[in-house]
Amino acid sequence: MHADAPGLVAAAITAWVIVGALGLVRPHDPGWITRVLFPLGAAIALGLATLAFTQIGAPAQATVLPLGLPDLPFHVRVDALSSFFLMVLGIAAFATSIFSAGYFGVHDETPGLLCFQYHVFLAAMASVIVADDAYAFMVAWEAMTLASYFLVISEHRTPQIRRAGFLYLLIAHIGAIGLLLCFGVIQAGNGDYTFNAMRASSTQGAWPSVAFFLALFGFGAKAGLLPLHVWLPEAHPAAPSPVSALMSGVMLKTAIYGLLRVTFDLLHMQLWWWGVAALALGLVTALFGIVYAAVQTDMKRLLAYSSIENIGIIVAGFGLALLFNAYGKPLVAAIALTAILYHTLNHAVFKTLLFLATGSVMHATNERSLGKLGGLIRQMPWVAWLALVGTLAIAGVPPLNGFVSEWLLLQAFLFTPSLPQSFVNMLVPIAAAAVVLVAALAGYVMVKFYGVIFLGRPREPDLIHARDAGLLQRSALIFLAVACVLLGVFPVQVIAVLDPVNGLLLGSSVRNAAAAGNWILLAPIDADRSSYSPLVVLVVIVAVVLLTIQIVHRHYHGRIRAAPPWDCGFPQQTSRMQDSAEGFGQPIRQVFEPFFRMERHLPSPSDPAPRYRVSIEDPFWRGFYVPIAHAAEWLARIAGLLQRGQISVYLTYSFFTLLALLLFVR
Amino acid sequence: MTVAAFMSQLLQLALALALAPLLVGWVNQCRAWLSNRTPPSLFLPYRTIRKLFMKDAVVAENASPIFRTMPYIVFGAMCCAAAIVPSIATDLPFARAADAIALVGLFALARIFIALAAMDIGTAFGSLGARREMFLGFLAEPALLMVLFTASLISGSTSLPTMVEALAHRELAIYPSLAFAGVAFTMVSLAENARIPIDNPATHLELTMVHEAMILEYSARHLALIEWAAALKLFNYSCIGIALFIPFGIAEGSNAWAALIAAVPTLVVKLAVGGFALALIETASAKLRIFRAPEFLGTAFLLAVLGMLVNLLLGS
């Protein structure tokens, strides 16, 4: 391929901005926006995904755009890493735009404005991924933050939503400061902020470590790493569902992109203890995220915490890759990197699917509290069955896609070649145990999510009037569900596609090693060590199931009688007797009780109108944010002591300042 | 893949399907002996399954298709698992498609489907059972995986046949890492197969039930498949235990027909001893409260992790 990839990506970005701007032309016309503009945006996304797919294996191409300040033009570069992330963006954006075409419009006051912000958001994310100098990167990064901020507060009449948006903006900017400093450190004072110059510069001493931790901090704020995760469970529920899907599915991944870019591409060296730090931070984040997901009662908050968990897993895998690479084990590092890239793609697909499914549920029921849903598989079979695919995929069950990345990551953990440090050698199996624990808890959380929303009896009488999603919403969900299955069943082909990224970042490849198996058998090291073939597993399970059905139905009569549920003969059953979301999460709450900040109100036995209430607070609020806020207020008060409001006092300050200066200048 | 390998694969699967109810019958018989009761027939589980297949199915009015497909999926997953775990032969073509991690994944698939089906009708017992099952699973699943990891660190492979071949050819000695793993594995198997310290297979109408609570609404052929799948699960766990801790006598290599024939009685003897040990544990211990279960399973998990660390420290 000798297509001008950077030019084409720039064209796609421009096209998105134009489509968005067209929304402002007729801002109150839902038909124009949903029937014309969103499908156009989807077409651009599909084009971008196709382009990125063809460019992953191609050599890197760079160009300079005639944009930006006179001396600081925007540099753009498309290489394997950015192509991979562009592909993730394209796939998720395609599905989300199709879904949005069937979602926005009727309820929204100004769909045109939404359409504008939405497409600017997409364009900004694409720009972040292709930016090749710090200036362009930061401009795109800020544009992405601002566009998503406005999307989050699109229902700005609700005070909680404004508050969530403000929190998001605040943490995003604290993170951006970290990034700015990080780029400043890497370019090492030569004044050239292009990434090419940074690749060439070799900072010495502690500076690479400073740059790495600034990057981890800055990108961690965007990705939702502890302790900067608090915006995530606030902002995701506040945003409209397609926006939550994009934020969770793609925007968090731009932070992963940045982390990979800075660590493996821009920094000229990697140290093993960075890997340990990232591994530990990622695992703590993952465990925190999934435990908190288990006790949520709002379906979008639950998914937001689950996103924190997935990002934690990805960062842990990133730490592992870093560790192995620093010890000069590029093959195992490549397996770990492949695992996290695979997981990035998977998470973009199934989290988008689940967020969009919650969008359909909210559209149909106007409800997002788990305590008021239930039994929707009868009213909304399409959404329910497609969401089941996403649920099983995120729960990490073979033969779907979530399992493949989990499998690869565990392989990387398990085949720790003997590392020089025995302390690290001991650490890796313990980290593997934590990953496995998180994966098992994810199953718990997803059964809760799916069971409470779609199974059982409706918890509110209105739910029986819920209508299934329309054709556009449905086709977006079908696309994503099919992607879940295909990514799960053809891992060898997927890995062949994303392998050039290993070559770019680590200079090694898993493809030659994987060729020990064949197209059907995934064997990252060699087939004797470990192999996995989801296609065979799928075929065998389906064959056994069909065969069993056949045999059972041939040899025995198929009589079936419908009757009221038995429930051990309990006479009066109501929908209130099922587990609520709180009830389902209760065992986890009990086991992890020391980690929660809980407020519980137990009614007394004599209470005529008993109400049980429990609220769970994020411990980081009280333990981390409130002290910082207090410290800031205290500092402000101290500084306020200087301000007396009397002109004579201020003149005295000036006088003493002058005296002090004279002392120095002389 | 040779025809012989394919045949041994099929033979093993057929053996698992045939022997699984017998194992359940044997355990029940031992339990009866140990508690001074007259034992039921050894073949009672077969008769139960046959009887259930003959009956009319009663399905709750509001059941969704998940409810009716679950027994087949769980049965299919357990059959797949039975095909992977080397019980009489290590030359299993299907075991290349799914290693130890995938085996745990298959168990997770079955667990998630049972839990979802239990929540489908919307009864109090169903969702209670589903919640408890997932609760036990979240600790049992990682513990099982850690046990398998210990064995795979020793053998340098996650493929079960390779693990068996590596473990069977070591010097006969007590390996500390495997001792830890063995205790952990026993505890996990008890929990996963709804056995006494955690759950009671012989109870109904108790607020403490887990597995039985989930399948209350099932009848006839669906229930028969679930019972058969549960028997297969017990069989699979026994075979995992045999494969990891007493892997001697499993036929190795291809075209080893004589070894294959000899492996069947060996397996039966090992299962009989294992079943008796299970009955002994069940008779000797009392059921735990559900909130003591995390301690039990957490201990299993920690023991398994310890086994792994010991293996790294001592190299054995």
Reference B110, options B12, B224, B232; nearest CA is: B232
Consecutive H or E run containing A519: none
- d(CA A203, CA A341) in angstroms, rounded, equals 28
What residue segments make up the domains of chain B, in order of their start?
3-314
Kindly state whether residues A249 and A102 are assigned to the same domain. yes
Contact B62 A565 (CB under 8 A): yes
Q: A385 and A533 share a domain? A: yes
What pLDDT sits at residue A1? 45
Strand partners, B194: none
Structural domain includes residue A206: no
Handedness of CA B80, B84, B88, B93 (dihedral sign): positive
Among B53, B74, B90, B109, the strongest candidate for a mutation testing the A interface, having the largest count of A CBs within 10 A, is B109
Same domain assignment for residues A412 and A545: yes
Strand ranges, E, within A564-661: 597-601, 613-617
What residues of A are in contact with residue B158 (Cβ under 8 Å)?
411, 414, 529-530
Judged by a CB distance cut-off of 8 A, whether residue A528 touches chain B is yes
Please report which helix (H) or strand (E) contains residue A205, including its range.
Answer: none
Interchain CB contact of B36 with A (< 8 Å): no
Select from A392, A489, A480, A482 the least CA-distant residue to A92: A480
With contact defined as beta carbons under 8 Å apart, do A441 and B112 qualify?
Answer: no
Residue in B60, B96, B221 closest to A552 by CB: B221
Q: Are A517 and A646 in the same domain?
A: no
Q: What is the dihedral of CA A541, A544, A548, A554, to 10 degrees?
A: 130
| Euclidean distance between CA atoms B311 and A292, whole angstroms | 33
Minimal CA separation from B139 to chain A, in Å? 7
pLDDT at B254: 65
Instruction: Among A524, A552, A580, identify where a domain stops.
Output: A552
Cis peptide before B39 (omega within 30 of 0): no
Q: What is the pLDDT of residue A512?
A: 60
The chain A residue lying nearest B155, using CA atoms, is A529
CA distance B108 to B68: 19
Residue where a domain terminates, one of A552, A577, A597: A552
**Cα distance between residue B64 and residue A380, in whole Å:** 12
What is d(CA A490, CA A482) in angstroms, rounded to the nearest whole number?
A: 12
Separation between Cα atoms, residue A59 and residue A62, nearest integer Å: 10
The crossing angle, in degrees rounded to 10, of helices B124-155 and B100-120 is: 180
Answer yes or no: do A556 and B112 touch at CB < 8 A: no
Model confidence over B94-109: pLDDT tens digits? 888 888 899 999 999 9
Contact (CB<8Å) B109/A579? no
Dig out the tokens for B14 from the structure.
Answer: 């057929």
Q: Do A577 and B94 touch (CB under 8 A)?
A: no
Answer yes or no: is pLDDT of B4 > 80: no
| Euclidean distance between CA atoms A299 and A291, whole angstroms | 15
Burial class, A472, CB count within 10 angstroms (exposed 0-12 / middle 13-18 / buried 19+): buried
Strand A72-78 relative to strand A560-563: parallel, antiparallel, unpaired?
unpaired
A459 close contact with B: CB closer than 8 A: no
B135/A533 Cβ within 8 A: no
Is the previous residue joined to A30 through a cis bond, with omega within 30 degrees of 0? no
Q: Is A561–B105 a contact, with Cβ atoms under 8 angstroms apart?
A: no
* Res. B220: pLDDT tops 70: yes
Cβ–Cβ contact A594 with B under 8 A = no
Residue of A nearest to B205 (CA): A568
- Return d(Cα A179, Cα A151) in angstroms, integer: 23
What would the two tokens of residue A61 be?
A: 């191409």
Tell me the residue length of chain B.
316
Amino acid at A652: T
pTM, 2 dp: 0.92
Beta-carbon neighbour count of residue A356 at 10 Å? 32
Inter-chain touch B123–A410, beta carbons under 8 Å: no
The CB density around residue A295, as the number of other CB atoms within 10 Å, is 22
CB-CB contact of A375 with A457 (8 Å): yes
Please provide the average confidence, as pLDDT, over all residues in chain B: 86
Number of H helices, E strands in chain B: 11, 1
A450, B116: Cβ pair inside 8 Å? yes
Task: Quote the number of domains for chain A.
Answer: 3
**Are the C-beta atoms of residues A480 and A486 closer than 8 Å to each other?**
no
**What share of chain B has pLDDT > 90, as a percent?**
29
CA-based torsion, B82, B85, B87, B91: positive or negative: positive
A410 in contact with B, Cβ within 8 Å:
yes
A377 and B66 within 8 Å at the Cβ level: the answer is yes
Structural domain containing residue A3 = 1-177+225-253
Single-letter amino acid, residue A378: R
> Among the residues of A26-79, which ranges form H helices?
30-31, 38-55
A377 is a domain residue? yes
CA distance A514 to A525: 7
Q: Is B242 on the interface with A (CB under 8 A)?
A: no
Q: Which residues of B touch A575 (CB under 8 A)?
A: 122
In chain B, which residue's Cα lies nearest the Cα of A522? B97
Q: Do B115 and A375 touch (CB under 8 A)?
A: no
Which helix (H) or strand (E) is A561 found in, with range? strand A560-563
pLDDT at B261: 82
Gap between the Cα atoms of B29 and B43, Å rounded: 10
Q: Which residues of A touch B153 (CB under 8 A)?
A: 414, 429
Verify that A232 and A367 share a domain, yes or no. Answer: no
| A396 lies in the same domain as A508 | yes
User: How far apart are the C-alpha atoms of A125 and A118, rounded to whole Å?
Assistant: 11
Neighbours of B3 (CB within 10 A): 9
Question: Which residue is listed with tokens 């079979």?
Answer: A381
Which residue is it, tokens 């139960």?
B48
Is some CB atom of chain A closer than 8 A to the CB atom of B99? yes
CA dist B83 and B26 (Å) reads 22
Residue showing tokens 């000036």 = A654
CB pair distance less than 8 Å for A537 and B294: no
- DSSP secondary-structure letter at A522? B
Residues of chain A with pLDDT under 50: 1, 516
Q: By the CB < 8 Å criterion, does B215 face chain A?
A: no
**Quick one: CA torsion of B14, B17, B20, B25, rounded to 10 degrees?**
-110
Domain C-terminal end among A526, A552, A578: A552
Q: Would residue A243 count as lying in a domain?
A: yes
Q: What is the DSSP letter of A575?
A: G
Contact B312 A425 (CB under 8 A): yes
pLDDT, tens digit, 9 for 90 and up, residues B244-276: 888 887 777 766 677 788 888 888 999 999 999
B234 and B21 in contact (C-beta within 8 Å)?
A: no
User: CA of A476: how far to CAs of A16, A95, A413, A480, B12, in Å?
Assistant: 19, 5, 35, 6, 43
Please indicate if any CB of chain B lies within 8 Å of the CB of A589: no
Q: What is the pLDDT of residues B26-77, one digit of tens each?
A: 999 999 999 888 888 889 999 999 888 888 888 888 888 999 899 999 999 9
User: In whole angstroms, what is the distance from residue A186 CA to residue B56 CA?
Assistant: 74
Question: How far is residue A630's CA from residue A86's CA, in Å, rounded to a whole number?
Answer: 42
CA B284 to chain CA mean position, Å: 21
Residue B104, burial from CB neighbour count under 10 angstroms (0-12, 13-18, 19+): buried
